[in-house]
Amino acid sequence: MHKDIREIIFTEDEIRLRIRELGEEITADYAGKTPLLIGVLKGCYVFLGDIARSIDLDCEIRFITASSYGVSTITSGDVRIGMDFDFPIAGKDVIIIEDILDSGNTLAALRNFILARKPASLKICTLLDKPARRQASINPDYTGFLCPDEFVVGFGLDYAERYRNLPYVASLKPEIYSE
Ligand code: IMP
Ligand code: MG
């Protein structure tokens, strides 16, 4: 275990099994379709890699950036969305792939951004859901795990751009935030 970690919340094995189940669910729900997976960078990158490989269908994969956080652990509510270029969304079955749904402000802004481009359908798939902290009225269609109301890192999630590469989801020792 990494020296800065206080507690592992979801282990590598638990996450692998759960992603396999989610992939089977999505495969069944989208049979005969070619879903467009839109990953929300950067936190999605590990989850997207695994979930995409567990979906047994042709998929298109694109990325979008959205950020409401600096190096702090509290959402600012001010969401910036970026696309490298305006890829086609109209008529597609879009699944947004997120690392964590917290206040919901990021996904609420992204949902409006995507709906304005007239997809055939839009669903949200998140590895972690922290319903205790929701501000926007938004709920995921596919959830890996309900997450306790604390700041977590690993499996793509960062604190000040670190810990994304940890293969599990964990909480940090309190002294890490005060350094
Ligand atoms: P929201 O807009 O508050 O729902 O925030 C969503 C984004 O905040 C996520 O995509 C993450 O990048 C980040 N975030 C929220 N909670 C955590 C956490 O516990 N650890 C790391 N990043 C988080
Ligand atoms: Mg994120």
Which residues are known catalytic residues? 102
| All domains of the chain in start order, with CATH | 13-150 (3.40.50.2020)
pLDDT of residue 49: 97
Q: Could you tell me which residues come within 8 angstroms of residue 103 by beta carbon, excluding any fewer than 6 positions away? A: 75, 77, 133, 134, 135, 136
Q: How confident is the model at residue 133 (pLDDT cuts 50, 70, 90)?
A: confident
> What is the distance in angstroms between the CA of the first residue and the CA of the last residue of the chain?
20
pLDDT of residue 44: 95
Q: What percent of the chain has pLDDT over 70?
A: 92
If one compares 113 and 68, the residue with the highest pLDDT of the two is 113
On whether the CB atoms of residues 92 and 60 are closer than 8 A, the answer is yes
pLDDT of residue 118: 96
pLDDT of residue 178: 75
Q: Model pTM greater than 0.85?
A: yes
Query: Which residues lie near ion ligand 2 (Cβ < 5 Å)?
Result: 43, 99
Write the residue with the smallest CA distance to atom 3 of ligand 1: 103
User: Mind listing the pLDDT tens digit for each residue in 67-88?
Assistant: 765 555 555 557 778 776 678 9
Cα–ligand 2 centroid distance for 130 (angstroms): 13
